Chains A and B, each alone.
Chain A
Amino acid sequence: MPAVSKGDGMRGLAVFISDIRNCKSKEAEIKRINKELANIRSKFKGDKALDGYSKKKYVCKLLFIFLLGHDIDFGHMEAVNLLSSNKYTEKQIGYLFISVLVNSNSELIRLINNAIKNDLSSRNPTFMCLALHCIANVGSREMAEAFASEIPRILVAGDTMDSVKQSAALCLLRLYKTSPDLVLMGEWTSRVVHLLNDQHMGVVTAAISLITCLSQKNPDEFKTCVSLAVSRLSRIVSSASTDLQDYTYYFVPAPWLSCKLLRLLQCYPPPEDGAVKGRLVECLETILNKAQEPPKSKKVQHSNAKNAILFEAISLIIHYDSEPNLLVRACNQLGQFLQHRETNLRYLALESMCTLASSEFSHEAVKTHIETVINALKTERDVSVRQRAADLLYAMCDRSNAKQIVAEMLSYLETADYSIREEMVLKVAILAEKYAVDYSWYVDTILNLIRIAGDYVSEEVWYRVIQIVINRDDVQGYAAKTVFEALQAPACHENMVKVGGYILGEFGNLIAGDPRSSPLVQFNLLHSKFHLCSVPTRALLLSAYIKFINLFPETKATIQEVLRCDSQIRNSDVELQQRAVEYLKLSSIASTDVLATVLEEMPPFPERESSILAKLKKKKGPGAVSVTELEDSKRESSELNGAGERGPDPSVMAASNASTPSPSADLLGIRSAAPVSTAPASAGSLLVDVFSEAGPAASSGAVNDDGFLRFVCKNNGVLFENQLLQIGIKSEYRQNLGRMYLFYGNKTSVQFASFTTTVSCPGELQTHILGIVEPLVEGGAQIQQVLNIECLTDFSDAPLLNIKFRYGGALQNLTLKLPVTINKFFQLTEMASQDFFQRWKQLSQPQQEAQKIFKANHSMDTEVIKAKLLGLGMALLDNVDPNPENYVCAGVIQTKSQQVGCLLRLEPNAQAQMYRLTLRCSKDSVSKRLCELLAQQF
């Protein structure tokens, strides 16, 4: 054992750690740990009272075991005991244990809070700091309730030691972050703000974190901090590197405090007071000047600290966005960093320049670095730096450089890392659309995109190119010619076939004059791809074919031949078969006039927010795309679509309205449109729906927590319902067995095909589906399925029901939680008051109890509560609880492996509209699970 133990050295602990390190295998380690756990358990349970030192040592061992990744389910009480020790190290270990193994067990929290209260009032600064640390570490609501009013007092009291003030400030910050409603600054506000003037730099550093957070939430109340912050900053910035003694870090005066002051100022607009503003601008200039001075040390710590302040100052300059001179200087400084040898600085410079690019004052200056940034995209070894370079190119793009940037991004895409391809594709698509002056360039770009990175081109992107081609008649001929050429490639991406099929179907006539692209050549080209494509693409191609019949009557015979062949008209896919049959019929019975009307060119699409942009926003999270950018793109795209001048065709609007219950922001507004009860003969509306492959998305993987929770206290009802499908359940349970009847109702008039269901369940349950459901569910029909359930041992996870079927060619995929909860296996147990309390006492180990205090979600009506408790499956016991308002229940959960006795107590507080729910079960996991389930029922 190395002699590394320092300080008080718990020898036993060191021996144990060294044993663990010497274990040759995971098994040996587990064995050693189990031995130790048994030893500690017997020591804790022994008759002999343990002294403080032993208790500390064992608690510390438990902590070590926990940190190795093992579960610890005892020792909490001993740790709590250590808190009230008056020996510092014992107290310290106790607090450490509590901080690391926070336990929401209410019994303990009360004891911990008591110990904290004692330490806070002890006036011993080290004890006070320990207590404050513990509050900050746990940060729970109960602690906030107990101490949120006390801590501000400690923070501003004149006689509080500096170190305690620091802890109090940060403790309060933590409580404010978790329970802002409980931390009321009110009368303390001005005294807290004045901590910015404190003599002690450590106090200012700690307090400013608190002040910044409070200012963000209540800027008006804290606005006096601006002038104080400016003067403090000015004093630091102008100080010599030795003035601040130990607060100087590698020759940089107070870097942490400086950055925090600059960050605080970013919560506010530029100071209105001229003098204050002048002083601040002076500070910012000094910081920029210092960046040009030779470094005072070669150490990286020096340059990091110095540049940290510089970047924070630049953030403030960008935030103000009102000082052109400073903005340009900032940009030049970042430009230097773009070529710095430190990768970190290049990364940060690219990141910071992204925000500078959005300012009108510095946009042009940022643009001058385009070559460097393009070079970074090509040559940086680190993918995260390349990602930043791509972001910056996107941000600095405008009409003047769009062609260059898009070309560079496209060429980068050929070799880009897989992790960033999808985002790059979206960015290229957006830039191409936003800055397209001539649409042939736009079409070329998107087709290139599909060629280079077809797999990463999402539906939104290719929908969009079609939308734009349809809305711009000056580009239609070019688009037709280009897709025709692109389709010549022996292997082309399926997305290319989709775009090609759609565009040629609409505008193939514009290039049909050229014998090299005569109607038949076009058709043969498209049809040569047909067999390699997926079902949705084939469906789209069939629609293109019928459009061909209208555009080029000479192709009619050939196409009818294709539609008539068995592989179409008898296709096993219903959607394909339907299209083939209908189109064939339409082409043979309708007159040319009717055909021309039904198969008319698509009307322009109504203008919408670019869904590509919406997708990018979703990918990057809110805030990634600035509001101005959004508005910008709206304006641009309305220009682009030329919508508004040409009103959309009312008949089509009517058709799409009929099938779109809520107009969505979706690109074409048809993905969410359920073509409900399309009469088979109305081929017109089918054509409007050429895009509806996706169909009414039944949001696969939907979590029906809501529906699930409704069944905790009842067994029958509707589990799920959407536009297409309704699922009802009936269930019954006996002992550890259950049977569930599932009813699937087709709400539409169209058949569901390939209907399959599967149930996956946690290991603790066994389910068995009786009989197989028919793969076809007729329109309006209901089918039934029976599920047998056996509970092997207690469980928390519900079984999942997965349902798949095809509706109108679109695959629907749905996953639901089946409401099988542990309480279903309850058997009621009637008992008298005396028995109840005896059992209650027997179940008094802390982990056997679970308790929750929660707000009432429903009316607190006695009869309703009683009905719910009975539905739960436990016996409701009268005349047990001394308070008649309270409810008391008892029951036994039957599982195959064991029986779990459970007692429940529910105490309503009508005045506060709150409940306290307590469960005691012979198995701790059951108490916890029941408590979770029930807390959401009342």
Chain B
Amino acid sequence: MRFLLLFSRQGRLRLQKWYTAISEREKKKIIREMTTMVLARQPRTCNFIQWKDLKIVYKRYASLYFCLGVEHEENELLALEIIHRYVELLDKYFGNVCELDIIFNFEKAYFILDEFLMGGEIQETSKQIVNRAIESSDMLQETMEEYMSKPAF
């Protein structure tokens, strides 16, 4: 897998994860191309697009598009299910996840993704194990009180 992008119906990018080293300029170019290409697709077309040497696998959940760039030999259907599993994990953590959750807790969205995928490969498919890892990292957080006394800015 080369990259994962989350963007809204208006084309606002909500999350980006790159699994190969590419320049910022190139990233911006890809993001632009992906959003225009995916948002222009008609309903009920297939979820796969051939793009350069990659397969683009995308799916829409409510107001968010999830878009994966995968290598040619990868399985498209499983890529779709990778997206779905990630949505399930977000859902489990936030409880009925919505776009705002991802905007305000973007760092959590990254942490959850990192527990699930690493270097563009599946690290752990079990929902229970991933959730447990996320919860225990939340447990590891310092007590709230310590922070509450700090000023907001």
Contact = CB atoms under 8 A, between A and B. Distances in A.
Nearest to B104: A4
B80 to A, nearest CB: 6
A2 interface: yes
Contacts of B146: 53
Nearest to A210: B121
Contacts of A63: 107
Contact of A2 (B15, B84, B104): B104
Contact of B118 (A15, A171, A263, A344): A171
Contacts of B118: 132-133, 136, 166-167, 170-171, 174, 206
A55 B127 CA distance: 32
Contacts of B103: 17, 21
B141 interface: yes
Query: Chain B: interface residue count, which band?
Result: 35 or more
Given A6-B108, A53-B146, A382 B46 contact: yes
A933 B101 CA distance: 45
Interface string A227-264: 00000000000000000011101000011110100010
Contact of B119 (A4, A60, A174): A174
Contact of A89 (B94, B133, B142, B152): B142
B105 to A, nearest CB: 6
Interface string A199-214: 0011001100100000
A166 B152 contact: no
A246 B127 contact: yes
Contact of B78 (A137, A139, A259): A259
B123 A167 contact: yes
Interface string A118-138: 000000001000001100110
B106 A387 contact: no
A209 B21 contact: no
Interface string A2-40: 101111111110110110010000000000000000010
Given A126-B136, A139-B21, A166 B124 contact: yes
A143 to B, nearest CB: 11
A520 interface: no
Contact of A381 (B42, B78, B141, B153): B42
Nearest to B85: A249
Interface string B56-87: 00000000000000000101111011001100
Contacts of A170: 118-119, 121, 123
Nearest to B94: A6
Nearest to B77: A308
B53 interface: yes
A385 B45 CA distance: 9
B152 A381 contact: no
B73 A344 contact: no
A694 interface: no
Interface stretch (A105-113, A299-307, A476-484): A299-307
Most buried by A among B78, B133, B147: B78
Query: Chain A: interface residue count, which band?
Result: 35 or more
B68 to A, nearest CB: 14
A263 B100 CA distance: 38
A178 B21 contact: yes
Contacts of B77: 304-305, 307-308, 311, 344, 348
B30 interface: no
B141 A206 contact: no
A343 B45 contact: yes
A64 interface: yes
A7 B108 contact: yes
A611 to B, nearest CB: 23
A92 interface: yes
B142 A11 contact: no
A4 B141 contact: no
A79 to B, nearest CB: 13
Contacts of A343: 44-46
B28 interface: yes
B125 A249 contact: yes
Contact of A202 (B19, B46, B126): B126
Most buried by A among B50, B122, B123, B147: B123
A211 to B, nearest CB: 12
Contact of B125 (A8, A202, A263, A308): A202
A69 B28 contact: yes
B78 A255 contact: yes
B142 A347 contact: no
Nearest to B43: A381
A849 interface: no
B129 A246 contact: yes
A259 B82 CA distance: 13
A88 interface: yes
A173 interface: yes
Interface string B89-112: 000011000001101111110110
Interface string A62-104: 0110010100000000000000000111001100100010100
A433 interface: no
A11 B28 CA distance: 30
B119 A308 contact: no
B59 to A, nearest CB: 10
Interface string A295-338: 00000010011011001100000000000000000000000000
B147 to A, nearest CB: 6
A67 B16 contact: yes
A126 B138 CA distance: 12
Interface of B: 13, 15-16, 19-21, 28, 42, 44-50, 53, 73, 75-78, 80-81, 84-85, 93-94, 100-101, 103-108, 110-111, 114, 118-129, 133, 136-138, 140-142, 144, 146-147, 150-153
29 contacts: A6-B105, A7-B141, A8-B142, A9-B144, A12-B152, A18-B104, A53-B147, A54-B150, A67-B106, A69-B13, A92-B137, A102-B21, A136-B118, A136-B119, A139-B20, A171-B118, A173-B121, A174-B19, A178-B21, A205-B125, A206-B123, A209-B121, A209-B122, A246-B126, A304-B80, A308-B81, A311-B75, A311-B77, A343-B45
Given A246-B126, A308-B81, A347-B46, 8 more contacts: A4-B94, A11-B152, A12-B153, A166-B124, A201-B126, A202-B124, A304-B80, A346-B46
